[in-house]
Amino acid sequence: MTTAGTETVLAPPRAKTAALSATVRRKQGFQHGGWFVAPFLALFVLFVVWPLVRGVYLSFTDANIAGDSANFVGLDNYREALQDPQMWDALGHSAYFTLLVVPCITVLAFLLAMLAHHIEHAKWLWRLCFFAPFLLPSTVAGNLWQWLFNPGTGMINHVFGLETPWLTDKSYAMFAIVITTLWWTVGFSFLLYLAALQGIPAHLYEAAKLDGANAWHRMIHITMPMLRNITGLVIALQILASLQVFDQAVVMMDFSPGPEESTRTFVQFTLEEGFTSYRVGYASAISIIFFVIIASVALARMWLLRNREEGGR
């Protein structure tokens, strides 16, 4: 590796002005790029497009896990799904989780980044400490916190002198998962904020200092506005990731839906219907509903971004 950071801006040597006689050759160079795209496209069609098409097809059938010939059942699966209290519960749990996690993680990541950015000694150490949990596999993080939350032998209750039944009472179970998730994933958003902070030109602050702005003013008038885009990005990524929560929740609850089914997430519900109840058709219908929800969130963000850009101009 030569220059390590990707933030390096490449400054290529000025190209010679192309000779007129070479125009044809030059144009040819950029033609017929299909071959470049082909390998990716093949994988993409096989493992992204085709499953989507297949999912739509299966959602209109009563297919089972063994892949037997399935019967066409029309909209029955969708009708059943929309009337299935379990589906709404599961959707509610994922939404509730998202509602709890997203604001916490955004604020926490910002504060951690500010802290790490402003401490001038041993910068690598803070980055390491705050980011390290993110490098653990989700299941390891889940197991670790299941152990920490354990009644009796767990460290959390011991250290804080509590007797909270974190994982066995429905009023605490979701919070336990949220706490685990914060610890485990805040590092990612933290890095994004840190990179954005480092990207703010120093001369802005120097100019403000000359104008007599104190630290608080500099944060309100320079840092915060400069971080607006990144905050939007962090929130959007977190919403999409949180709605798809699965790993740590099932691991902490030993693959059960939690106390009184209070932590069954949407993804878990889909997999249970497909792989535990063997109802692949029904599970596909639920998946498609989920896809529509996720796509709406993503499209809403694009729409917001475009609106803001237009408003800004």
Partner 1 sequence: MGRPDLNRRQLLGGIGGLAVAGSFGFAALGTGADALASGADARVRYWNLFSGGDGANMIAMLDAFRKENPGIDVKDSTFQWGNPFYSKLAMAAAGNRAPDLGVMHLGRITGFSPGRLLDPWDVDLLAKYGVREADFNPDLWKRAVIDGKLYALPLDIHVQLCFYRKDVLKKAGLLGDDGRIVPVTSTGEWFDVLKEAKKATKKGLQTIGFWINDQNFQWWFFVAFYTQLGGTWFNAANSEVTFDTDKAVQVLEFLRQHVTDGYANPGMGSVGAEQFMNGAPFAWEGNWSVPVFSGAKLDYGATPLPPVFGKQATHAESHAFVLPHQSDRGGATNEAAHQLAAYVVQHAQQWAAGGHIPAYTPTLSTAAYKELNPQSEYVSAMDHQATEPKVWFAGSTGILAQRIGPIVVSSTMGSAKPEAVARRMKGALTQLLGMKNPMDGRTAAQGGAVA
Partner 2 sequence: MSTAAQIRVKPRRPWTPSQIVLTLLGVAVSVVFLAPLVWALFTSLKSETEAVEVPPHWLPKEWTAQAWSAIFETGNITNWFVNSLVVSVCVTTVVLTVSALAGYGFARTEFRGKNVLLGVVMAGLMISPAVLGVPLFTTVQQMGMVDTYWGMILPQCAPAAMVYILYKFFQGIPRELEEAAFIDGAGRWRVFFTIVVPLARPSLAAVGIFTFIASWNNFLWPYMVTNNPDLMTMPNGIATVMNSYGIQWAQLMAGGLMAGLPLIIVFVFFQRQIVAGVAHTGLAGQ
CA–CA gap between residue 249 and residue 226 (Å, rounded)? 35
Residue ranges in 64-93 that form contacts with partner 1 under rule CB under 8 A:
64-68, 71
Q: CA-CA distance, 40 to 239, in Å (whole number)?
A: 28
Residue 208's CB is within 10 A of a number of other CB atoms, namely 16
Residues 223-262 that bind partner 1 (CB under 8 A): 254-257, 259-261
Q: Does 244 interact with partner 2 (rule: CB under 8 A)?
A: yes
For residues 170 and 228, which CB has a smaller minimum distance to partner 1 in the complex?
170
Nearest Cα residue to 286 out of 78, 67, 29, 33: 78
Amino acid letter, residue 277? S
Q: How many CA atoms lie within 13 A of 216 on its CB side?
A: 0
Q: Which does residue 267 touch among partner 2, partner 1, none (CB within 5 to 8 A, set by kind)?
A: partner 2
Judged by beta carbon, residue 61 or residue 242, the one nearer partner 1 is 61
Neighbours of 191 (CB within 10 A): 18
Contact status, residue 267 vs residue 244, Cβ threshold 8 Å = yes
Q: How far from 94 is each of 42, 45, 87, 273, CA to CA, in Å?
A: 33, 29, 11, 17
Select the residue interacting with partner 1 from 55, 62, 127, 226 (CB under 8 A).
62
- Residues between 99 and 128 with contacts to partner 1, criterion CB under 8 A: none
Task: Give the residue from 286, 304, 283 showing the smallest Cα distance to 294.
Answer: 286
Measured from the CB of residue 86, what is the shortest distance to partner 2 in angstroms? 16
Query: Rounded to the nearest whole angstrom, what is the least distance from the CB of residue 204 to partner 2 in the complex?
Result: 19
CA–CA separation, 15 and 247 (whole Å): 51
Closest approach of partner 1 to the CB of residue 2, in Å: 8
Residue 125's binding partner out of partner 1, partner 2, none, with CB under 5 to 8 Å set by partner kind: partner 2
Q: Show contacts with partner 1 in window 156-185 (CB under 8 A).
A: 163-165, 167-170
Q: Token pair of 24, please?
A: 């044809």
Closest distance between partner 1 and the C-beta of residue 153, in Å?
A: 8
Picked from partner 1, partner 2, none, the partner binding residue 313 (CB below 5 to 8 A depending on kind) is none
List strand residue ranges (DSSP E) for 115-258, in order: none
Binds partner 2 by CB under 8 A, chosen from 254, 303, 306, 307: 254
Q: Hey, what amino acid is at 124?
A: W
Residue 3 near which of partner 2, partner 1, none (CB within 5-8 Å, type-dependent): partner 2
Q: Which of residues 38-97 bind partner 2 (CB under 8 A)?
A: 39-41, 43-44, 46-52, 54-55, 58, 63, 67
Q: Which of partner 2, partner 1, none has residue 216 at its interface (CB below 5 to 8 Å by kind)?
A: none
| Residues forming a β-bridge with 72 | 61
- Per residue in 116-154, is it b (16+ CB within 10 Å) or e — as a string? bbeeeeeeeebbeebbebbeeebeebbebbbebbeeeeb
CB closer to partner 2, 101 vs 230: 230
Residue 170 binding result from partner 2, partner 1, none, given CB thresholds of 5 to 8 Å by partner type: partner 1
Amino acid at 12: P
Cβ 166 to partner 2, closest distance in Å? 14
Q: Binding mask 125-144 vs partner 2 (x if CB under 8 A, - otherwise)?
A: xxxxxxxxx-xxxxxx-xxx
Question: Residues in the site for partner 1, rule: CB under 8 A?
Answer: 2, 62, 64-68, 71, 150-153, 163-165, 167-170, 254-257, 259-261, 271-272, 275-282
